[in-house]
């Protein structure tokens, strides 16, 4: 009945997944099935040893079933749900390991194994490797002689050797559990935020004669029966998604998957042999794993140093004179170790470190978070953010790991981790606060930061960059319980975000251009005095952006701007690359017009508008202003031909038709620096000659000259008289926006 215990564990795991997916009834049904199976197992076992094995599983199952029955909504915290939602990694299921009152779910043999189609590489040999079932001797005999051969995964093999050198070989052996027949194994790795287990076949790839001395998996040169490290390797390769077509990793990342120790990669160019002494001391104490990487190196230099370009090495010894390195491919009889003189230390590229943070620090806290696709590259408000608060009277050193989850067949999306100091809640844009640590883009699965937080201050950690939906796990270590990590909140009561775009029809460019008033604009009605308001607009960094706030009259609500009146503007800032922001204080009730502009009128692309303010949500009403002059729009033009007057006949078929006429000079949009003749326009009844609208002021506004009127009579002709201050040449454009269709005929038309 032992196999039924493993079945119970698998059912409870499936119940957790269903609950995380929001399938509460399904989660309850699965858990009830698990509970009934656990009950049958308890009634079947009579041997005390078997009962000791079964009771923790049964107790855990019954407790979970009862929790689902009482309140399924609260059975899992959000962070835990994310761990269960990320079980599928490159097509294989990796369930989080359960911790029972006594022991782990890893201690129980697998019911079965996943039928995973394993990819094999091109070996350059005449034959294709064949998978065969093998068993493995327990223990660590020959472990120190593990080596790689055909598979170029030096980083993983060296991680195994490095951990063994720390006298932690027994921990590695506990990562593997067999079934009775040894045709399946269960392997545990630290991946996607926690310890996870997978059941796989015990088959390994072998070659036949004459290549039977070659091997694709990690193997001991002195104990051919030591196969369990190859099972860990097989699970590791499945987790990375490329199987035996291994594409590379590094020791820091691989050791993290095996031990969960925080990985750090340092450039040797920023270190010295003297600084290595402290690291070696921690290594001797078992608090740190150490490795070196050559990086890409000239063949001549690699030959001189007797190393291989693009390979890793375990640091097995240290003195002021140099280092002793262990390579991953040679047997003990053919130069397993390499002595590196201190004078050539700088020729290597990387130092790989793995910190035993749980031994170095007293307190830890972890949480998982979803990072949605970014709305803006320049704004950070929608990025995952956490406050790191030090409420003690002393500066505290902390360590943080940020793990990018592997999901299905998706690669690691480039991301950055930044810590900003002396913050107040969420960071809105990168230059808002001083960056205390991080900031560089990375594609490492796990990123490590170590820094200090001043006494009685708050820092904010921001994860930015990933283009898709990504799950991250953050883990914080500190020496003091006074250091806390919690989700950051905006510093304003209300947040409004708007996604919009500049297109070829509504990018009017900067305020010196005729089409500026065609830019996207919003009407803001402020109903109550606002102590603070923050506004930001952002787009691609190579584009300069800005926005303007102008006072408007309530009677002109939702009517497009007709001028850029600097006397009505609240502030006038220069254009900024990528993002422009401004904070207003003591904003009085009234109507404001917000105009978002791009300095380059040819730019086409999306932008993100952000408004934050204190007070109640109803204190601000924001509404986009229609771009068109009217429901129906038309444009006609004429040539002055040394005239200073021109007439149009306008007719409508509908009573009380509202019309806006807009006069503009030239065939192309104007700029402030170009000459424009002053013009005016009036409207008359064509039959009675009575004026409808008369203008006596001349205007040469770059934004155009506007005339508003109402055509009261249907099927009746009106005359639009356009006048120029002096005679001359050139084109005049007339745009008509109306509430119903118009017919327009110029005096030159027959």
Among all residues, which ones are annotated catalytic? 154, 311, 327
Pair of tokens at residue 505: 């029809």
Pair of tokens at residue 215: 């091997």
CA of residue 117 relative to chain centroid, distance: 31
- End-to-end alpha-carbon separation of the chain, Å? 101
Beta carbons of 391 and 383 less than 8 angstroms apart: no
574 burial via Cβ count (<10 Å: 0-12, 13-18, 19+): exposed
Alpha carbon distance 209, 182 (integer Å): 25
86 burial via Cβ count (<10 Å: 0-12, 13-18, 19+): buried
Pair of tokens at residue 305: 């140093």
Alpha carbon distance 598, 647 (integer Å): 37
Alpha carbon distance 508, 520 (integer Å): 9
The SS3 call for residue 342 is helix
Pair of tokens at residue 653: 């078929």
Pair of tokens at residue 12: 């409870």
Beta carbons of 670 and 716 less than 8 angstroms apart: no
Instruction: Write out 259-287 in H/E/C secondary structure.
Output: HCCEEEEEEHHHCCHHHHHHHHHHHHCCC
Residue 622 vs residues 345, 465, 524: alpha-carbon distances, Å: 63, 30, 5
Question: From the DSSP assignment, how many helices (H) and strands (E) are in the chain?
Answer: 11, 43
Q: What is the torsion angle, in degrees rounded to the nearest 10, for the CA atoms of residue 303, residue 307, residue 309 and residue 312?
A: 180
Pair of tokens at residue 513: 């251009």
Pair of tokens at residue 604: 């086409």
Q: What is the torsion angle, in degrees rounded to the nearest 10, for the CA atoms of residue 656, residue 658, residue 662 and residue 663?
A: 10
The position carrying tokens 């120790």 is 261
Beta carbons of 336 and 222 less than 8 angstroms apart: no
Alpha carbon distance 395, 452 (integer Å): 7
Alpha carbon distance 98, 186 (integer Å): 14
């Amino acid at each position: 009945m032992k196999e039924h215990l493993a079945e119970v564990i698998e059912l409870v795991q499936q119940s957790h997944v269903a609950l995380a997916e929001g399938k509460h009834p399904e989660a309850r049904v699965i858990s009830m099935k698990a509970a009934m199976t656990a009950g049958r197992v308890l009634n079947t076992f009579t041997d005390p040893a078997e009962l000791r094995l079964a009771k923790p599983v049964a107790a855990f199952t019954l407790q979970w079933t009862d929790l689902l029955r009482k309140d399924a909504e609260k059975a899992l915290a959000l962070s835990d749900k994310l761990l269960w939602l990320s079980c599928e990694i490159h097509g294989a299921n990796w369930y989080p390991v359960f911790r029972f009152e006594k022991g782990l779910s890893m201690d129980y043999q697998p019911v079965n194994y996943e039928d995973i189609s394993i990819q094999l590489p091109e070996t350059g040999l005449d034959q294709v490797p064949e998978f065969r079932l093998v068993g493995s001797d327990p223990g660590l005999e020959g472990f120190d002689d593990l080596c790689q051969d055909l598979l170029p995964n030096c980083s993983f093999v060296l991680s195994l050797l490095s951990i063994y050198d720390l006298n932690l070989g027994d921990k590695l052996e506990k990562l593997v559990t067999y079934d009775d027949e040894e045709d399946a194994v269960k392997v545990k790795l630290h991946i996607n935020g926690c310890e996870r287990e997978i059941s796989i076949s015990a088959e390994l790839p072998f070659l036949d004669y004459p290549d039977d001395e070659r091997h694709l998996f990690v193997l001991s040169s002195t104990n051919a029966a030591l196969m369990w490290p190859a099972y860990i390797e097989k699970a590791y390769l499945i987790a990375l998604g490329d199987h035996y077509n291994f594409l590379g990793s590094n020791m820091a990342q691989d050791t993290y998957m095996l031990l969960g120790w925080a990985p750090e990669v340092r450039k040797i160019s920023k270190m010295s042999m003297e600084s290595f002494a402290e690291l070696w001391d921690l290594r001797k104490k078992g608090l740190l794993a150490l490795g070196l990487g050559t990086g890409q190196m000239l063949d001549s230099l690699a030959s001189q140093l007797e190393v291989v370009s693009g390979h890793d090495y375990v640091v097995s010894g240290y003195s002021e004179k140099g280092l002793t390195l262990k390579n991953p491919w040679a047997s003990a009889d053919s130069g397993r170790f390499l002595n590196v003189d201190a004078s050539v230390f700088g020729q290597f590229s990387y130092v790989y470190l793995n910190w035993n943070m749980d031994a170095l620090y007293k307190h830890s806290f972890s949480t998982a978070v979803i990072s949605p696709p970014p709305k803006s590259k320049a704004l950070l408000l929608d990025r995952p953010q956490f406050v790191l608060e030090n409420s003690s009277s002393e500066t505290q050193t902390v360590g943080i790991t940020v793990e990018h989850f592997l999901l299905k067949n998706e690669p690691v999306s480039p991301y950055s981790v930044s810590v900003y100091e002396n913050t107040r809640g969420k960071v809105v844009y990168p230059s808002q606060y001083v960056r205390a640590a991080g900031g560089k883009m990375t594609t490492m699965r796990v990123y490590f930061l170590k820094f200090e937080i001043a006494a009685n201050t708050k820092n904010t950690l921001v994860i930015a960059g990933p283009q898709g939906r990504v799950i991250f796990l953050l883990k914080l270590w500190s020496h003091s319980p006074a250091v806390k990590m919690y989700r950051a909140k905006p510093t304003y009561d209300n947040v409004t975000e708007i996604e919009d775009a500049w297109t070829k029809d509504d990018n009017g460019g900067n305020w010196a251009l005729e089409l500026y008033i065609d830019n996207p604009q919003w009407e803001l009605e402020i109903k109550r005095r606002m102590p603070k308001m923050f506004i930001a607009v952002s787009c691609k960094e190579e584009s300069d952006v800005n926005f303007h706030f102008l006072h408007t009259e309530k009677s002109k609500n939702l009517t497009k701007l007709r001028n850029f009146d600097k006397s009505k503007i609240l502030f006038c800032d220069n254009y900024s690359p990528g993002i422009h922001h401004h904070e207003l204080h003591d904003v009085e009730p009234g109507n404001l017009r917000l105009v978002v502009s791009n300095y380059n009128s040819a730019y086409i692309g999306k932008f993100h508008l952000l408004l934050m303010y204190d007070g109640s949500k109803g204190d601000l009403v924001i509404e986009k202003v229609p771009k068109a002059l009217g429901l129906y729009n038309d444009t006609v033009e004429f040539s002055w031909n040394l005239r200073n007057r021109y007439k149009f006949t306008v007719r409508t078929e509908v009573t009380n038709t509202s019309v806006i006429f807009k006069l503009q000079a030239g065939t192309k949009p104007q700029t402030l620096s170009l000459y424009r003749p002053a013009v005016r326009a009036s409207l008359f009844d064509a039959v009675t000659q009575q004026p409808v609208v008369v203008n006596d002021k001349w205007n040469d506004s770059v934004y155009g000259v506007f005339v508003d009127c109402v055509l009261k009579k249907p099927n009746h002709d009106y005359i639009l008289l356009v006048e120029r201050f002096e005679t001359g040449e050139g084109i005049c454009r007339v745009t008509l926006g109306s509430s119903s269709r118009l017919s327009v005929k110029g005096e030159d038309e027959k």
